[in-house]
Structure 1
Amino acid sequence: MKVVHVVECFSGGTINFINLATKLIPDCQHIVVHGERPDEICPQKVKATFEQEVSFIKWTSVQREISVWKDFKALISLYNILKGIKADVIHLHSSKAGFLGRVVCKALGIKPVIYTPHGAAFLRKDIPAGKVRLFKLLEKIGANISGTVICCSESECRAFTDASIQASFINNGIAVGNRHIEFRKSPDSSLTIVNCGRVTVQKNPLLFNEIARAFEGNAGLRFIWVGEGELQHELESSNIEVTGWLPKQEVLALLRQADLYLSTSLWEGLPFAALEAMSLGKPMLLKDCVGNVDLVQDNYNGFLFSEADEAVQKIKLLQANREMLNEMGAKSIQLCIDRFNIQDTFQRYKEQYSKVSQLNVQ
């Protein structure tokens, strides 16, 4: 079976998902049609993380924000790419590829189409209400044009159905396997608190900074942000270390040594960085938003919060109770096994590929 993945952004959790799909559904031939952003990681470095059998085609003119002329050029570019590939399934990833891709597939008569939003544009909190309504309208139009919407979390799916858009979901997954987890013993009250991701509006670095600033002068607490981005200057509290982008093994080593994973995101799909921390036995302290809410059972494997003061109080509670940290970390691992199992995730996608590919013969 030939599966063509179409994605606007060649970085972040979305490309991580595609990478995993190509590895865990190896009996399919995978082609990745991708845009590139000049401010993102080097495309060659991304391609090097894929298996050699995966093919890549650059998608020109595509970019994140709406631009009638550039979007038209991106539409024509994608039309010319897809008409030259006899695909069994087209899997569209993220909002821009999801809309343009469904228009192109309709024009080409391609029926087996899956669209996974990975954090839909109408969930964004950094845009005016009018633009949110526009993005929601575009999602409704796209759903009526073609394709099956499969969200990456239950809460994202609920956002679609609340907007009267038919959707289902398959949770993103993570491998747990035989990872070596070491829980620290009491009465050590030091805490290392970590977040991973691009330093952008979506990840809300101002809130992270506000939480960290409440502990300035407390030598027992250390905050680390793994990543970089245009809002890096907002992480100005003296107890925050910004590492920049690190190799995967260094990130995993840092997470193993951490005590708590803190996400201040405004919206998500289902974040792989948080799943990675969960799989390594970390309790979760997550901002209450779409995507994050799927990863925390409150007071079981961590806490959800809305305001900085709530997060500060939870950190103080956990700092005073090492056993609670360890217990919640163990429950994070169990949740990964029960609800976010990577083998289950891609077995279900494989079944969906087989199901929609039958539309070619109908």
Structure 2
Amino acid sequence: MKKKILMVCESFGGGVFTYVSQLCNDIADDFEVFLAYALRPQTPQNYKEFLDSRVHMIELQHLGARGITSLKNDVAVINELRQIEKKVRPNVIHLHSSVAGGLGRLAFKGKNNVVVYTPHGYAHVLMGNGKKSIVYKTMEKILGKTNSMSLTCCESEDEVARSLCKRTAYIETGVNINDLSTLLDGIEPEKNEKFTVFTLGRACIQKQPQLFNEIAMLVPEAKFLWIGNGELEKRLSAPNIEVTGWKPRKEALALAKGADAFVLCSLGEAIAMSLIENMYIKKLILVSNTMGNKSVIKDGINGYVCEKPEEYAAKIKMAMKEFPGQLPERAYQDVLNIYNTDAMKKKYIEFYRKL
């Protein structure tokens, strides 16, 4: 008899969708996999095509686009999750992201199975300081006392987890190298006359667009690209910044291939898929000294870890004079050895079996 793994994923869109669907497919040979999910506007319309036919799909009726609007609805979600547990009788329940992690840890007692929670980036870290952040952190501490364990995506996220609960572990996020390599082979780089620095993502608090803008102001001789847009894009006002808006994946990768350096100056990450992809593309990487980023990039070894805009600017100006080619090469090797789905699959199978 194969062990039964029940995945619970409310945030079934974006990077979490890619992560969870890949994970379900990777472990389908070794475990009987059930996926309880909620549809969101970001969920691909053909989402079922991304999943192995052996994965048992269970659509949650009280989560998703309708949102969690009341205590009554929360209770309905908890009851629904308990009914699913009763029917499936899983050996392991794996909760993904904060909503599923919150309600799931209230719903599941962990008496007849092991309850695992993966935050995919703790909300109170990603949103910065403020009252809302304090509320989220307090909730994490309370829920951390339940009969569950936290499984994070890297060592520095695990450090945060250890301050919130007793049982923790981490498995590094990875990209599918074969898929990415095949996609990149057919893409011509977008050529630039100037040294080009770029980032990718939503212009929001987490991604610190004002810091990216300060860096650009300090290096006026370089071209800066922000691939994406968002509520704080007006902060990207430096004359040498181009905000491209959201691009189809192939166009975004063409811009990435044609650029020289990738900056991720966020407040924190689990592990950003864009970071791993640009390590694989052999871009010079500069990141903030924060959760997630500092686990992947080691300063002066496979990229640069920076604190202030002046540090980013100094490293970019150095690279414009003499490009440190050994750093991107080391970052590329790290993806081949650590941050890929083959390595992630082996670690997950071992992790679930030990549970």
SS in 2 for 1:193: strand
Q: Which residue of 2 aligns with 1:196?
A: 200
Is contact 2:228-2:247 (8 Å) kept? yes
Residue pairs, 1:178-257, within 5 angstroms: 179=181, 190-216=194-220, 218=221, 221-257=222-258
Q: Which residue of 1 aligns with 2:11?
A: 9
Number of residue pairs the alignment of both structures matches: 342
**Structure 1 CA distance for aligned equivalents of residues 296 and 68 of structure 2:** 29
Q: Which residue of 2 aligns with 1:20?
A: 22
Is contact 1:31-1:57 (8 Å) kept? no
Equivalent residue letter for 2:36:
V
Q: Which residue of 2 aligns with 1:359?
A: none
Offset, 1:284:
1.0
SS in 2 for 1:251: helix
Equivalent residue letter for 1:345:
M
Q: 1:315 to 1:141 in 2, by over 3 A?
A: same
Equivalent residue letter for 1:85:
V
**Structure 1 CA distance for aligned equivalents of residues 165 and 306 of structure 2:** 28
Residue pairs, 1:1-362, within 5 angstroms: 1-27=3-29, 28-38=31-41, 41-44=42-45, 46-54=47-55, 55-61=57-63, 68=71, 70-106=73-109, 109-128=111-130, 131-163=132-164, 165-176=166-177, 179=181, 190-216=194-220, 218=221, 221-322=222-323, 324=324, 326-356=325-355
Q: 1:232 to 1:51 in 2, by over 3 A?
A: farther
Uncovered stretches (5+) of structure 2, i.e. residues with no partner: 186-191
Q: 1:272 to 1:56 in 2, by over 3 A?
A: farther
Is contact 1:225-1:242 (8 Å) kept? yes
Equivalent residue letter for 1:342:
T
Offset, 1:175:
4.1
| Aligned-residue CA RMSD (Å) | 3.1
Equivalent residue letter for 1:94:
S
SS in 1 for 2:139: helix
CA distances 1:65-98 after superposition (whole Å, capped 9, x unpaired): 9965554444344334444434342211122211
**Structure 2 CA distance for aligned equivalents of residues 13 and 24 of structure 1:** 16
**Structure 2 CA distance for aligned equivalents of residues 84 and 246 of structure 1:** 43
Q: 1:317 to 1:353 in 2, by over 3 A?
A: same
**Structure 1 CA distance for aligned equivalents of residues 332 and 197 of structure 2:** 18
Q: 1:42 to 1:135 in 2, by over 3 A?
A: closer
Offset, 1:155:
0.3
Is contact 1:173-1:345 (8 Å) kept? yes
Is contact 1:172-1:340 (8 Å) kept? yes
Stretch moving more, 232-241 or 62-71:
62-71
Is contact 1:111-1:146 (8 Å) kept? no
**Structure 1 CA distance for aligned equivalents of residues 95 and 107 of structure 2:** 11
CA distances 1:138-169 after superposition (whole Å, capped 9, x unpaired): 33332332222211100011122244633111
Q: Using CA pairs below 8 Å that are at least 6 residues apart, which structure has the higher relative contact order? A: 1
Q: Which residue of 1 aligns with 2:189?
A: none
Equivalent residue letter for 1:248:
R
Stretch moving more, 191-200 or 148-157:
191-200
Percent identity of equivalent pairs = 31
Q: Which residue of 2 aligns with 1:360?
A: none
**Structure 2 CA distance for aligned equivalents of residues 234 and 65 of structure 1:** 32
**Structure 2 CA distance for aligned equivalents of residues 126 and 67 of structure 1:** 26
**Structure 2 CA distance for aligned equivalents of residues 210 and 250 of structure 1:** 26
**Structure 1 CA distance for aligned equivalents of residues 227 and 116 of structure 2:** 32
Is contact 1:211-1:311 (8 Å) kept? yes
**Structure 1 CA distance for aligned equivalents of residues 242 and 73 of structure 2:** 38
Equivalent residue letter for 1:280:
I
Is contact 2:286-2:305 (8 Å) kept? yes
Offset, 1:133:
4.5
Equivalent residue letter for 1:291:
G
Is contact 2:219-2:317 (8 Å) kept? no
**Structure 1 CA distance for aligned equivalents of residues 112 and 249 of structure 2:** 37
Q: 1:73 to 1:231 in 2, by over 3 A?
A: farther
SS in 2 for 1:78: helix
SS in 2 for 1:99: helix
Is contact 1:11-1:46 (8 Å) kept? no
**Structure 2 CA distance for aligned equivalents of residues 236 and 65 of structure 1:** 37
Offset, 1:36:
4.5
Stretch moving more, 11-20 or 43-52:
43-52
SS in 2 for 1:145: coil
